[in-house]
Amino acid sequence: MITIGRIAQMREVSKRAREEGKLIALVPTMGFFHEGHLSLIRKANEVGDLVVVSSFVNPSQFGPGEDYENYPRDPERDRRLAQENGTDILFSPSVEEMYPQGHSTWVEVEGLTEVLCGKSRPGHFRGVTTVVAKLFLIVQPHYAIFGQKDYQQAQVIKRMVEDLNFDLKILVEPIVREPDGLAMSSRNLYLTPAQRREATILYRSLLRAKELVEGGERDAERVSALIKGMIAPLPSAKIDYVSVVDGENLRPLSKLTGKVLIALAVKIGRARLIDNILISVDE
């Protein structure tokens, strides 16, 4: 595995790989790897000949007062895990390399970014799409792999790829969970032991909602009320949203039908946690 910090060198390596007919698979990350990231790297190994993992804590996707400064970082451990899981290139640019003085171009997807996390994190998806577009232009991948935990992010990026005619395929891999069901996230680190126990309710509430739907419930309001009713009593939890939306366009549903996404964001202590479940609902 080689570590690259400069855009020019990354471009050169990708150009050569493409000339040799190699398929490039990119896993964009903000580092601090957990099993969720490693599953994406393993997927990249299945589809690509050259596996590039980018590790960049992207300042432009954090709002004022969010956790950019404190976002967990452990580059040494990341290097070891990336190597052990089959990474060929770890692309780890500095902030100055990605956003040199004078940077003033932004990529913004409308509509899909105004709901769910976009409501309470204005500007967040603009930061994500800008950095991801830059990574696509630098690394020139054939495949880019994202996790389903950030379902809205994946939908937004798919939209951007289509609208800007990027010549690559987006793959979305299943959520990786702790044994007790909590979705893996770098931000789980912020939880105290008591909050960590509370956090298990998030996935349990999604499973209960799924059971309710499987039992015939089709009213979105009643499904989200069930989830809110389980989470609201937790001493450290503050619900940002619990939403039942169309799995493609993310528009709110009143009656469940087709591909349905039940998504939630909840602040537990210092950690803003997100989770979701996709259900296919018959009429």
> Among all residues, which ones are annotated catalytic?
37
Residues 6+ apart with CB under 8 A from 107: 126, 129, 130, 133, 160, 164
CA–CA separation, 266 vs 206, rounded Å?
Answer: 13
Is the CB of 174 or the CB of 229 nearer to ligand PAF? 174
Q: Which is nearer to ligand PAF, 234 or 274 (CB)?
A: 274
Least distance CB 10 / ligand PAF (angstroms): 15
For 15, the token pair is 């150009």
Distance CA 220, CA 156 (A): 23
Residue whose CB is less far from ligand PAF, 51 or 209: 51
**Minimum CB–partner distance for residue 218 and ligand PAF (Å):** 32
Give me the least distance between CB of 132 and ligand PAF, in Å please: 6
Q: Name the site residues for ligand PAF (rule: CB under 6 A).
A: 28-30, 58, 61, 128, 131-132, 150, 153
Q: Closest separation between CB of residue 252 and ligand PAF, Å?
A: 24
Work out whether strand 258-268 and strand 271-281 pair parallel, antiparallel, or are unpaired. antiparallel
* Closer to ligand PAF by Cβ: residue 25 or 279: 25
